[in-house]
Amino acid sequence: MRTVLVILLKLILFIVAAAATSTETRTPPTTTSQSTITTSSLIVSTTISSALTISDQTYTRYGVSSGNYYYKTVQVTVSRTGSYSFACSSNMIAYGYLYNNSFVASTPALNLLISNGDLGGTAQFEFTYYLTSDVTYILVATTYSTGVTGTFSILASGPAALTLTVIVIPRPTGTTIVTIQ
2 by DSSP, 3-state: which? helix
**CB-count burial class (<10 Å; 0-12, 13-18, 19+) for 53:** exposed
Element (H, E) at 104: strand 102-104
State residue 10's pLDDT score: 45
pLDDT at 144 over 90: yes
Provide the residue count of the chain: 181
Whether pTM > 0.95 for this model: the answer is no
> Are 71 and 52 a contacting pair, CB within 8 Å?
yes
Sorted by where each starts, the structural domains of the chain and their CATH numbers stand as 2-7+37-179 (2.60.120.380)
For the segment 167-181, what is each residue's pLDDT rounded down to a tens digit? 987 665 665 666 665
State residue 122's pLDDT score: 86
